[in-house]
Chains A and B, each alone.
Chain A
């Protein structure tokens, strides 16, 4: 296993279109996180899963955003009716949580979304 992978690396779409991103975490990791990063800022937390359960969602995650991790392995993040303000780098990270304590998060290379 070579780490967290994300696809696609780049996505250009027109306003109003739907887009879906995929994240494949490190195989033994039970937690998976989604972040959004805009230019000049650090990553902002969106949501996270422990196995297949979505345990927390940020207020940044509007109704147009939905994330799934159906089998507790890979995850998808879908944005419906994209807006120009959705343009950002979308980062995925995974970690191994032991009992309720998280360990270090390892990040994927990100998907850069540009909404025209």
Chain B
């Protein structure tokens, strides 16, 4: 079983729609990171959240870290085809060990 469960596994939406993807765990993390990965490339860091309840915004992307630091969500407003990719969350335990979820594969159709 994965330490981090991401849902949904796949998501296909039309351009302009809003969406939320989730990252859940029973473990507490010292920090949590969100990455986007495109086919044939390595993951690219989007954001790091550290404090329980923290909300960070990156243009149309809003990231939230749960109060208990066990879960996180990523909300995208007015999705665009350029948002297409694999969204990965990764939790850091003990300041050294980073574990990834299996990802949400997002497709935004024009």
Interface residues of A (CB under 8 A from B): 4, 33, 35, 40-45, 48, 55-56, 91, 93, 100-102, 104-110, 112
CB distance from A18 to the nearest CB of B (A): 24
**Bound Cα distance from A104 to B4, whole angstroms:** 18
CB < 8 Å neighbour of B101 from A42, A102, A104, A106:
A42
CB < 8 Å neighbour of A110 from B35, B42, B99:
B42
Interface majority SS (helix, strand, loop, mixed), chain B? strand
Q: Is the CB of B42 within 8 A of A104?
A: no
Complex: chain B residue closest to A6, CB-CB? B42
Greatest chain A CB density within 10 A among B4, B6, B88 is at B88
Residues of A within 8 A of B45 (CB): 104-107
Residues of A within 8 A of B41 (CB): 109-110
